[in-house]
């Protein structure tokens, strides 16, 4: 993959972020004003003039539409709406307060992080956000705009995630149709739309996890020292954003060991084996301090357990059986007593699917059309998930199917570790917050890549009907998701 194909989109996203943050007022009142109407008209004129220079392919359209949908969501979503552990700026606790503390004190908290809500999280995202807010102060922005600008960062992270996934597809030599299937699901999946407006540390952690997966594939194809250093840094930074990002480390270790075994003829080639051992040692020297410095610091200073997680959300005080077999549901949205339901969502699978699509929001009160679209999105998401799983099984079951064996093993290990780690956390946590799949959000991208790989394989086998069904399901899912989240903005949800 040429560097230009990565650098150019990143530069455009960075320019857009600066434009949104420092050149436009993104408050709801301003968005509805004449300035934005004129801006839209100007953009349409520019697009019309240069229409022959812009690719009209569906893949480009799907990626750009995914960008714009996330931007629209950020524009109509306040910094206190549909957030996780944020509360609001000025509240004195939550992720927003964490950013404000670093901004005010120019330092990390010098007290037990458990004493203030959400301060136990690693500080990478909060530190970056504090610097971003400081730039806003220096440029004379209002306090409201400075706070809103934090959402631009998470928007950028989710847009970069799309570029990274597209890069992975290209590195796997996926055909056009397979890439389109993958990007329709990834670009329009609600879990990433919600993250684009959520100012906690999830978006950065997920994006860096996908960057790590991308670099791991690059290293597997060409295991040089430079790439293994980049891989160690990316994993370490992902864990410095959120410790659960460490779930990607075991699959990457499996990939590295597989490559080592292959290159050293089953560890028989001593000289090559020593070369790999030195590379792995360099990797460990970088990744462990960078990824684990925060829990080690807090253990030494405040005796905080390395895996400390406070009790959060509404508690699901039921046994394992109801969490698996209680499938009662009369709404596409998450059952929560806080939303007026008579019980909290017990079933882990239902709670996982619903919260990946709608978070903890109940949008039924907005409009009957929203509820109908919610049901459609729920059904389509189940269909897409089944296709993703089938894609994984079919891709791995056929030895001659792309990609090569090492990458297949790597991706399967990713799915097992991400879903397994999330399921263990959700079952042990026994609360609705723990049942939110944002803790394993990279698995959506990995499974979508499997769906694209299967579509490619079917194209080789000339299975037109099955390919048409996969593409239709992906396109329908993207369309309904897009319409749903546009309507949420229209109705002021």
Among 143, 133, 131, 151, smallest CA distance to 81 is for 151
Mean pLDDT score, 110-118: 93
Q: CA–CA separation, 296 vs 303, rounded Å?
A: 9
- pLDDT reading at 5 higher than 70: no
Q: How many Å separate Cα 375 from the centre of its chain?
A: 23
Most confident of 21-35, 310-324, 417-431: 417-431
pLDDT at 310 (0 to 100): 81
Mean pLDDT score, 273-298: 95
- pLDDT reading at 255 higher than 70: yes
Task: Provide φ and ψ at 431, rounded to 5°.
Answer: -145, 160
Domain chopping of the chain, boundaries = 1-198, 201-308, 315-493
Lowest-confidence range among 88-92, 134-138, 219-223, 339-343? 339-343
Mean pLDDT score, 382-402: 93
Q: Are 440 and 418 in contact (CB under 8 A)?
A: yes
Beta-ladder partners of 315: 431
Judged on CB neighbours under 10 Å (0-12, 13-18, 19+), 254 is middle
Q: pLDDT band at residue 314, thresholds of 50, 70 and 90?
A: low
Helix pair 202-221, 442-460: axis angle to 10 deg: 40
pLDDT in tens, 142-170: 999 999 999 999 999 999 999 999 999 99
pLDDT at 300 (0 to 100): 95
Q: CA–CA separation, 353 vs 431, rounded Å?
A: 15
pLDDT at 426 (0 to 100): 83
Q: CA–CA separation, 5 vs 105, rounded Å?
A: 40
- pLDDT reading at 402 higher than 50: yes
pLDDT at 53 (0 to 100): 64
pLDDT at 451 (0 to 100): 97
Total-model pTM: 0.93
pLDDT in tens, 445-487: 999 999 999 999 998 887 889 999 999 999 999 999 999 999 9
- pLDDT reading at 3 higher than 60: no
pLDDT in tens, 350-369: 889 999 999 988 898 899 99
Most confident of 37-51, 338-352, 432-446: 432-446
Q: CA–CA separation, 233 vs 88, rounded Å?
A: 31
Q: pLDDT band at residue 1, thresholds of 50, 70 and 90?
A: very low
Q: CA–CA separation, 147 vs 339, rounded Å?
A: 27
The pLDDT mean for the chain works out to 90
Mean pLDDT score, 94-111: 95
pLDDT at 313 (0 to 100): 62
Q: In terms of pLDDT, which residue wins out, 338 or 334?
A: 334
- Show Cβ contacts of residue 334 under 8 Å, excluding neighbours closer than 6 positions: 345, 351, 354, 355, 358, 359, 360, 361, 362, 432
pLDDT at 431 (0 to 100): 72
Q: In terms of pLDDT, which residue wins out, 97 or 59?
A: 97
Lowest-confidence range among 31-35, 40-44, 106-110, 367-371? 31-35
Q: Are 227 and 215 in contact (CB under 8 A)?
A: yes
Please report, for residues 126, 264, 308, 390, 455, the alpha-carbon distance to residue 397 in angstroms, rounded to integers and kept in the order given: 43, 26, 39, 10, 15
Lowest-confidence range among 295-309, 334-348, 376-390, 462-476? 334-348
Q: In terms of pLDDT, which residue wins out, 433 or 81?
A: 81
Q: CA–CA separation, 325 vs 328, rounded Å?
A: 9
Q: CA–CA separation, 386 vs 434, rounded Å?
A: 23
Q: pLDDT band at residue 110, thresholds of 50, 70 and 90?
A: very high
Q: Are 71 and 13 in contact (CB under 8 A)?
A: no
């Amino acid at each position: 993959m040429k560097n230009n194909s990565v650098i150019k989109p990143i530069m455009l996203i960075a320019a857009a972020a600066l434009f949104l943050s420092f050149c436009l007022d993104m408050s709801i009142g301003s968005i509805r004003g004449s300035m934005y109407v004129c801006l839209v008209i100007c953009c349409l004129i520019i697009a019309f003039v240069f229409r022959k220079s812009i690719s009209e392919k569906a893949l480009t359209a799907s990626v750009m539409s995914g960008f714009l949908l996330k931007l629209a969501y950020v524009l109509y979503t306040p910094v206190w709406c549909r957030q996780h552990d944020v509360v609001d700026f000025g509240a004195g606790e939550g992720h927003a307060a964490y950013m404000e503390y670093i901004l005010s004190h120019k330092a990390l908290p010098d007290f037990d992080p458990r004493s203030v809500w959400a301060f136990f999280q690693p500080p990478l995202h909060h530190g970056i956000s504090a610097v971003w807010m400081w730039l806003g102060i220096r440029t004379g922005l209002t306090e409201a705009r400075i706070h809103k600008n934090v959402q631009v960062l998470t928007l950028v992270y989710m847009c970069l995630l799309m570029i990274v996934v597209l890069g992975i597809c290209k590195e796997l030599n996926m055909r056009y149709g397979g890439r389109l299937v993958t990007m329709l699901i990834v670009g329009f999946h609600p879990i990433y739309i919600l993250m684009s407006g959520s100012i906690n540390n999830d978006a950065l952690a997920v994006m860096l996890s996908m960057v790590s997966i991308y670099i791991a594939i690059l290293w597997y194809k060409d295991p040089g020292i430079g790439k293994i250093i980049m891989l160690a840094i990316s994993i370490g930074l992902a864990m410095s954003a959120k410790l659960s990002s460490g779930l990607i480390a075991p699959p990457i270790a499996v990939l590295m060991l597989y490559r080592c075994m292959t290159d050293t003829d089953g560890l028989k080639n001593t000289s090559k084996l020593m070369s790999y051992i030195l590379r792995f040692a360099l990797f460990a020297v970088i990744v462990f301090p960078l990824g684990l410095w925060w829990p080690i610091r807090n253990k030494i200073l405040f005796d905080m357990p390395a895996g400390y997680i406070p009790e959060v959300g509404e508690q699901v005080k039921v046994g394992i059986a109801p969490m698996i077999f209680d499938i009662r549901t009369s709404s596409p949205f998450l059952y929560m007593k806080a939303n007026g339901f008579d019980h909290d969502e017990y079933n882990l699978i239902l709670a996982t699917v619903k919260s990946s699509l709608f978070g903890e929001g109940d949008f039924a009160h907005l409009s009957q059309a929203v509820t109908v679209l919610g049901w459609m999105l729920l059904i389509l998401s189940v269909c897409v998930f089944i296709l993703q799983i089938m894609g994984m099984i079919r891709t791995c079951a056929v030895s001659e199917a792309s990609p090569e064996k090492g990458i297949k093993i790597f991706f399967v290990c990713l799915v097992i570790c991400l879903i397994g780690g999330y399921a263990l956390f959700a079952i042990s946590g026994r609360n609705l917050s723990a049942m939110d799949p944002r803790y394993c959000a990279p698995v959506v991208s990995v499974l979508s890549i499997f769906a694209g790989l299967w579509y490619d394989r079917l194209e080789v086998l000339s299975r037109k009907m099955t390919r048409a069904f996969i593409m239709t399901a992906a396109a329908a899912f993207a369309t309904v998701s897009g319409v749903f989240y546009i309507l949420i903005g229209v109705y002021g949800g």
